[in-house]
Amino acid sequence: MKIKILKSVVSSAGWRNEGEIHDLESKVARHYISKGIGIEYKEEKVLRETKEEKSTKKRITKKSK
């Protein structure tokens, strides 16, 4: 389970600083959430730009003499 740390904590692996995202075992993650040390982190998917949403490109033509 991915957890975003809200408060700095010392663990057996070392410091877990505020603002970091860690992938922890579910038991440890639930403990952090219940104590207010961290919150569950969900990744946001980046939306792709579709053809309809793209702006039109201007064609550059050569000037005739």
Show me where the domains of the chain are located. Answer: 2-40
Task: Supply the pLDDT for residue 64.
Answer: 65
DSSP state of 3: E
Neighbours of 11 (CB within 10 A): 11
51 band by pLDDT with thresholds 50, 70 and 90: confident
The predicted-structure confidence for 9-38, as pLDDT tens digits, reads as follows 998 889 999 999 999 999 999 999 999 999
65 band by pLDDT with thresholds 50, 70 and 90: low
pTM (predicted TM-score): 0.62
Identify the three-state secondary structure at position 54. coil
